[in-house]
Chain A
């Protein structure tokens, strides 16, 4: 697979995962670019020991977790439970709320839920994050519950 082909196929997916992690367009774009810099550098040494998507997502999640400057900017507090009455939001606003709710999760949880929303199979998520399949399944269940609670508190999906 050529770099251009890989980039066209995976850059939107990687961007969305980075956006889920950091909730900032510019920084998500930077993290996505850094991911593809690594992909470009290491493509010749990629030995097909895992799926190329697992490999690329693993690089991307490492970039996210490694970014100390990013960590400092992430919110430390939970979203308030009693929020103003919801109004009919646009798709764009709904997406912003989703990012906001994800941003209040723990780092690893943000990565996992972003991969779930990207529709990756559980086994692949486990391989990317470095957890066992069983642990990943339990973890995903818990994160979904947490996220549902946060979204409902924000007037979403009631």
Chain B
């Protein structure tokens, strides 16, 4: 192309005057970062707080039955799973940017595998621990009244069933669609990089 230099000159004429100034950018950067990470930090904070509340609650309330300790322990373990997964994904979030495009494609593939692993294993373990913990924990509070016992367990089981059979598959379906789009894109990009 003989006109490459003309194209370069034309390229430079793009209007960049309307871009934010350095000071404005710095303000935007700070607020954007906080917004983007707020959700993750909220989940981490809530999981940590719940684990502390459960631990402190059990310590001070001195439950009489083993099921209460077992229930609290299982729920704290579920919080631990939630904490671990989110802190780990936070680390990955920061690692993302400084890699070549080929490394990035490999990273996407790893993310896809991680997400599948999360839905098939980690989430199942977390939900099982939390649900079993809840069922054990409430036993001491309701066991001496048959009506309350049936009502509490009935409602808890319905809640768990909705979570497992309705909410979780819906989220999985939505995430799977996103994954499939990402994979499609990944294949196109890989093809473009290897195509020579």
List A residues at the B interface (Cβ < 8 Å): 3-4, 7-8, 11-12, 15-16, 19-20, 29, 32-33, 36-38, 40-42, 46, 55, 58-59, 61-62, 65-66, 68, 71, 91-92, 94-95, 98, 106-109, 111, 116-119, 127-131, 135, 138-139, 144-145, 147-148, 157
Q: Of B5-13, B49-57, B130-138, which stretch is located at the interface?
A: B5-13
Chain A residue contacts of B100, Cβ below 8 A: 58, 127-130
A58–B98 touching, CB < 8 Å: yes
Which residues in A have their C-beta under 8 angstroms from that of B22?
A: 3-4, 7-8
Known: A41-B33, A42-B98. A65 touches B25 (CB 8 A): no
The CA of A95 and the CA of B97, in the complex, are separated in Å by 30
- B19, B26, B188: the one contacting A29 at CB < 8 Å is B19
Nearest CB on B from A98, distance (A): 6
- Residue in B10, B26, B32 with the greatest tally of chain A CB atoms within 10 Å: B10
Categorize the interface residue count of chain B. Answer: 35 or more
- One digit per residue, 1 when the CB lies within 8 angstroms of any chain A CB and 0 when it does not, for chain B 1-44 equals 11110111011111010011011011011001100100000000
In Å, the complex CA distance between A147 and B8 comes to 13
- How far apart sit A33 and B27, CA to CA, in the bound complex (Å)? 11
* Chain B min CB distance to A88 (Å): 15
Q: Is the CB of A4 within 8 A of B26?
A: yes
Tally A-B pairs: CB < 8 A.
127
Complex CA–CA separation, A96 to B39 (angstroms): 39
Point out the residue from A55, A94, A117, A127 that lies within 8 Å of B8, measured CB to CB.
A117
Interfacial chain B residues near A33, Cβ < 8 Å: 20, 25, 28-29, 32
| Complex A-B: 25 CB contacts under 8 Å | A3-B26, A11-B25, A12-B14, A15-B14, A16-B16, A33-B20, A33-B25, A36-B25, A37-B29, A37-B32, A40-B33, A46-B98, A62-B97, A62-B104, A65-B101, A68-B185, A95-B10, A98-B11, A106-B188, A107-B188, A127-B100, A129-B100, A130-B101, A135-B196, A148-B1
Given A55-B98, A65-B101, A95-B10, answer yes or no on A11-B19 (Cβ-Cβ < 8 Å): yes
CB nearest neighbor in A for B182? A68
Contacts of A62 in B (CB 8 A): 96-97, 99, 101, 104
Say yes or no: A11-B16 contact (C-beta < 8 A), given A3-B26, A65-B189, A107-B192: yes
Q: A36-B25, A68-B182, A131-B102 are in contact. List 17 more A-B contacts (CB 8 A).
A: A7-B25, A15-B19, A33-B29, A41-B94, A58-B98, A59-B98, A65-B101, A95-B10, A95-B14, A98-B7, A106-B192, A108-B189, A135-B196, A144-B1, A148-B1, A157-B1, A157-B6
